Structure 1
Amino acid sequence: MTEIDYSETPDIEPCEKPSQTKVTAAHRSGLDDALQMALDGQDESWTKEEERRVLWKIDLTIVPLLFLGTVIGYADSQAYGFAALFGLVQDLELFTLSVVNGQLALDTTKYQLSAGITSLGGAAGQYLLLFLAQLLPAGIVYGVMLVYAGLLALLTVICHNFSQIMALRFFYGFTQIQQPLAIIITVMWWKTREQPLRLGIVIAGNALGSLIGNGVDFGAINLSGQFSNSRWKWIYIILGSCGLCAGIIIILFLPATPMKAWFLTPRERRIAVRRLMSNNTGIHTRKFKFRQAISAFLDPQLYALCVFTFTFAFSNVAVSSFGGFLVTSFGYSETRALVLALPASAVAVVCIIAAGMIGNRFPNHRIIVAIVFILPSMVGNIMLWKTRLDSKAALLGGLYISTTFYGSLVQHYSLLAANVAGHSKKTAVMATITIMAALGGFSGPWAYKGDQSAEGYPDGQIATLSLFCASILAYIILWVYYSHCNKKRTALLREQPGVFEDPMIAFMDLTDRENLAFRYTL
C-alpha cells in the first residue's frame, strides 16, 4: 500500500504548506480517478516504442476532435462581425443616425452592446459550468456546448430587434467554456513537454475557423432564395448546422479520460495514465474541493496570467467585431473587405503553429516565446494608428502583422496547462481566466468608436498598445516568480531528501503549491 506522510513537510513560502494528513491508496475519497489504475500497473514497464504507439493513437483521436470543436466554434463566433456588414445591423436596427456639427454621423452603440454582451454571458456562466464539467465527463460537456452553440446560431435568424439579439447573444456567451475545457482535456492526455505543439494545433483552429468562417460568409452572401434580402441569415444557417453535426461527433467519440479511452487496449490505458506522472498535475478528480478553489485566488501566478488573458480577448474581440469595418475604413467595399481580411487569419494560423513547434522544441522558454510574438503585433497596431488612409498597402500590412500575438496564446495556454495542479484549483483558475477574457472581450468593441474610422481608430490602437505593454511586464514578473519558487523548492528538498519521492503523489490531487515535487515550467 502506498503511504505518504506529510507531517514533516517544511513551510516553503511563497509556496503553500501541504495539509497535515496522511493520504493512502486505501482512502481515495477526493483523490484522482487515475490513482487506482496507476497502482494496478505500478509493477509494469513498457518500451519507448510502446509509448510512441500510445501517443500516436492519442494524437490521431483527441487532437482532431478538439481541433474540430475549435474550428466550428470560432467560425461561428466570428461570424457576427461580418454578418454586420451584410444586413444584420440594418435588419435588427442596431444603429442610429444623428447630426454632429451639421454632418450625419452613425452611432453604433447598439451594435457594440450586442457584440459585447456575449462576453458578459460568458463571465456569468463560467464558475457554474466549469464546476459541472468537473463532476461530469469533460468530453461530453465539450460536445454538448458545441451543439448548444449550433442551436443558438440557427435561432439568430429569427431575431428581429435589439432586445431579441441581446438576449440570444448573452446566452451564447456560455459557449466560452470550450477554451478552458480544451486546456483541461489536454492535461489529461499529454506530458507537459508535449502540450505546446498539441495546444498549438488545437488553437490554430481559432484562426483556421476564421478563414473557414470567412469563406462560408463569402459563399453565403451570394446565395439567393428565401433570405436573398437578408444575406447574413445564410451565414448562421450554414454555421449553425455545422455546429450541431460537430457537437454530436464529439459527444460520441471524445473519451472522458484515458482510463475510458475506447481506442486503447487495457495495457495501453495504463501506459497512457502512468506516463503522465511526471506532470504532477493529475488527470481528473470528481470531488470539488473549496479549499483548493480558494487557494487559486491566493496564488500570484493567477493575476499575472489574467493580465494577458484580458489583453488577448480585448484585441481579439475588437478585431473580430470591427475587423470588417476597419478594412472598409481603408476605402474598400464590404465584399472586398471580406476577401482582404483573409490573410490576417492566415498569418494568425502560421504564428500559432510556429509557436507550438517552438514551444515543443524549447519547452522551458515559453514566457520568452510569448513575448517575442507580442512585439510584432505592437508594430502592426502602430502602423494602423499612424499610417494615412491613402496608404492602403501599409494599412493592410499593419493589419496582417498585428495578428502575430495569436502565437503568444499557445504559450499562455501551455503555461496554464503545465503550472496549475489540483483539479478544483484548476477549475477555479480556468473559470477566472475565462471571466477575464470575457471582460476583455466586452471592453474591446467599446475602444473602437465608429466615428473614428477615418482616423484609424486611435483610441482602440492606444488601448491595445498599452495592454500589450502591461502583458509583457506581467510575463516578466511571472518568470521571476516561477524561477524563485523552483529554486527554493530545490534547496528545501536537498535539505530533506526523500520528501515527496513517491511517484503516486502525482495522483493525490495536490495543488502545485502543496506538492514539493512540482516544478513550474518557464
Structure 2
Amino acid sequence: MTADQKKPGLDSSAPNEENIKHGQIDILDRRSEQGEDVAVQFLAQLDPAIMAAPISDTEARRVLWKIDLILIPLIMVTCVLAAVDKVIISNGAIYGMETDTHLTGNQYSWVGSIFYFGYLLFEYPAALLIQRLPVAKLYVGMVFAWAVLMLCTAATQNFAGLATVRFLMGMLEASVFPISSILTVMWWKTSEQPLRVAFWFNQLSSVFSGVVSYGIGHTHTALHPWRLLFLVLGAFSILWSIVLYIFLPDSPVQCWYFSDREKFVCLERVKDNNTGMEDKTIKWYQVRECLLDPKTWLLALFSLAQNIPNGGLVTFSALIVTGLGYSSLITTVLGIPTGVLATVWQILLSLIASRIPNSRCFIIAVSNFVPMACAILMWKLPRSNKHGLLASYYVFYTYWAPYVLSTSLPMANTSGHSKKLTLNAIFFIAYCVGNIIGPQVFRSTDAPSYSHGYEGLLACLVIAIVAISAYGVLCKWENQRRDL
C-alpha cells in the first residue's frame, strides 16, 4: 500500500459525499436514518404491482436522466450563488464600496476575514439543524436568508455594518455544502457521485459575478454601482429560493414531479449506498490517537497553507487587477477566465489521479509548483509588464485544484469512525483559519503592487508542498511497516 491508497471499504476516489465537506459523516448517517423512515412509510403504502415489476436498464437510465436534468442545476446554481456571495465583495471594492463605507487602514481585509469567523462558529449549529429539519426546506431558508443579507449589504454605511452582515452571511452559508453533499448521497449511487459533485463543486462563481458586474458597470442610476450590484444579486437569490422551494424535494419519495414508479426506482437505485452503516459511538482512544498522530497535523498544516491564498484572492482579486492599470469595468471581465481555468485544471487533475493509482500526494505536491512559479512572477516582474503579470495571475488560480484533490485524503488514509470525525474536524478548522488569514496577507497599504502579499502566497505554497510531501512519506512508511 502507498501513501494515498484507500483502505478496504473506503472510497478514496475523486470527490464524493464523504470528502467534499469536512466533518459531515455523522450528518449523512442520521439523515440516512430519517430518510429510511420516510421510505418505509412510502413503500408500505405503495401498490405491490409497482414494486413487483422488474427495473430495466432503459428505465433506470431514464430516471437517472430526469434526476440529472432537474437536480444538478438546482444544486449547482445554489453553490455558485453561495460562492458569488464570497467573491463579489472584491468587485464591490473596485466600484467604490471602500470609499462609501469609510473603510480605513486594513478594515477591508477584516471584512474579508470575518466571513469565515461566522462560517467556522456556525458549522456545528448548522450540523444540528441539518439533522433535525427537512433538508430541502433548510436549504431554501438559508438561500432566502443570505439573499436578504445581500440586500442589507447595499444599505451599509460603515465598517461595523459591513462586518456584521458579512459575519452573518458566513453563518448562513456554513450549511450549503453539507446539504449539497447530503442531496448527492440521497439521489445518486456511490459510483455516480464524483461526476455529479464535479458539476456543483466548481469555480464558476467568477464567471457569473464577472458578467453581472460588467453589466451593472454600464448602468447610470442614483445608486452607486456597488450597492446596485448587491441589490441585483440579492434579488436574484430571492427568486432562486422560490425556484428551490418549488422544485427541490426533501427526499425522492416527496418529489411531486415523479410518479410512484419513478420514486420506487430512485429508492432502489441508492439502496446499496450504505450511508448509515458506521458506528456512531465516540471512541475517545481514537480521538487521542488522531491528536497524537503527526499525519493529522501535517494534513492540517497543508489545508491551512493551501487556503491562505484562497482567502486572499477572494477578497483582493479585483483590486489586484485594477492595480495593474485596468479600469474597474474591464477588471470585471478580466476576472472571468480565472473560474474557467481553475475548473478545467481541477477536472484535469482529478482525471489524472483517477487513472494513476495511489498518486494523489505526488500530484498535489507537483501541481503546486505551477502557482508557486506564478507567485514568483507576480512578485518579481516589473509593473510595466502588465500582460505578463495578468497571465501569471490567471495561472495562479491552479492553486485550488490541489486542495480539492486533498479533501479525500482524510477519509482514504484513516480507519475508525471517531478518528475520521476528529481528523475531518481539524481539516475543516484549518480550512477556515486559512481563509481568515488570507485577507490579512494582502494589506491595503501595499496597494497597488501587493508585493508582500505575493511573498506570503509563495511562502504558503512552499509550506503546503513540504507538508503534503511529508504526509505522503509518512503514510507510505506506515503502510510498508504494516505489510511486513
Same fold (TM over 0.5): yes
CA distance in structure 1 between the partners assigned to 2:129 and 2:284 by the alignment: 14
CA distance in structure 2 between the partners assigned to 1:220 and 1:415 by the alignment: 42
Q: Which residue of 2 aligns with 1:183?
A: 181
Alignment match of 1:464 (pick from 457, 462, 467): 457
What are the equivalent positions in structure 2 for 1:80-119 lying under 5 Å apart? 80-95=89-104, 107=105, 109-119=106-116
Compared CA separation, residues 187 and 171, structure 1 to 2 (3 A)? same
TM-score, reference length from structure 2 = 0.77
Q: Is the CA contact 1:51–1:271 (under 8 Å) kept in the aligned structure 2?
A: no
Displacement of 1:266 in angstroms is 4.3
CA distance in structure 2 between the partners assigned to 1:261 and 1:480 by the alignment: 48
CA distance in structure 1 between the partners assigned to 2:146 and 2:425 by the alignment: 19
Q: Which residue of 2 aligns with 1:200?
A: 198
What are the equivalent positions in structure 2 for 1:103-502 lying under 5 Å apart? 107=105, 109-174=106-171, 175-204=173-202, 207-227=203-223, 230-257=224-251, 263=258, 265-277=262-274, 281-282=275-276, 291=282, 298-299=289-290, 303-358=297-352, 361=355, 365-415=359-409, 432-453=426-447, 456-479=449-472
Higher relative contact order (CA 8 A, sep 6+): 2
CA distance in structure 1 between the partners assigned to 2:480 and 2:454 by the alignment: 39
Displacement of 1:347 in angstroms is 1.2
Q: Is the CA contact 2:206–2:335 (under 8 Å) kept in the aligned structure 1?
A: no
Between Structure 1 and Structure 2, which shows a larger proportion of helix residues? 2
Q: Which runs of 5+ in 2 are unaligned?
A: 1-6, 11-28, 45-50
Displacement of 1:83 in angstroms is 0.6
Q: Which residue of 2 aligns with 1:99?
A: none
Q: Which amino acid aligns with 1:117?
A: I
- Report which stretch shifted further, 471-480 or 114-123: 471-480
Q: Which residue of 2 aligns with 1:510?
A: none
Displacement of 1:342 in angstroms is 2.4
Q: Is the CA contact 2:252–2:263 (under 8 Å) kept in the aligned structure 1?
A: no
Displacement of 1:135 in angstroms is 2.5
Q: Is the CA contact 2:365–2:469 (under 8 Å) kept in the aligned structure 1?
A: no
CA distance in structure 1 between the partners assigned to 2:249 and 2:288 by the alignment: 31
**1:318-359 Cα shifts (integer Å, max 9, x gaps):** 112111221222222323333322222221132233345445
**1:106-148 Cα shifts (integer Å, max 9, x gaps):** x3x1111222111111111111112221233333333322212
Q: Is the CA contact 1:70–1:203 (under 8 Å) kept in the aligned structure 2?
A: yes
Match status 1:66 vs 2:64: no
Q: Is the CA contact 1:380–1:398 (under 8 Å) kept in the aligned structure 2?
A: yes
- Report which stretch shifted further, 347-356 or 68-77: 347-356
Q: Which amino acid aligns with 2:406?
A: H
Compared CA separation, residues 192 and 415, structure 1 to 2 (3 A)? farther
Larger Rg: 1
Compared CA separation, residues 445 and 29, structure 1 to 2 (3 A)? closer
Q: Which residue of 2 aligns with 1:102?
A: none
Displacement of 1:90 in angstroms is 0.8
Q: Which amino acid aligns with 2:197?
A: L
SS state of the match for residue 78, structure 1?
A: helix
CA distance in structure 2 between the partners assigned to 1:411 and 1:478 by the alignment: 14
Q: Which amino acid aligns with 2:151?
A: L
% identical equivalent positions: 28
Displacement of 1:313 in angstroms is 3.1
Q: Is the CA contact 2:365–2:465 (under 8 Å) kept in the aligned structure 1?
A: yes
Q: Is the CA contact 1:293–1:427 (under 8 Å) kept in the aligned structure 2?
A: no
Q: Which amino acid aligns with 2:145?
A: Y
Compared CA separation, residues 460 and 29, structure 1 to 2 (3 A)? closer
Q: Is the CA contact 1:258–1:273 (under 8 Å) kept in the aligned structure 2?
A: no
Displacement of 1:275 in angstroms is 3.6
Q: Which amino acid aligns with 2:87?
A: Q
CA distance in structure 1 between the partners assigned to 2:177 and 2:86 by the alignment: 13
CA distance in structure 1 between the partners assigned to 2:283 and 2:31 by the alignment: 12
Displacement of 1:396 in angstroms is 0.9
Give RMSD over aligned pairs. Answer: 4.0
Displacement of 1:414 in angstroms is 4.7
SS state of the match for residue 463, structure 1?
A: helix
Q: Which residue of 2 aligns with 1:501?
A: none
Compared CA separation, residues 172 and 364, structure 1 to 2 (3 A)? same
CA distance in structure 2 between the partners assigned to 1:46 and 1:420 by the alignment: 37
Displacement of 1:371 in angstroms is 3.7
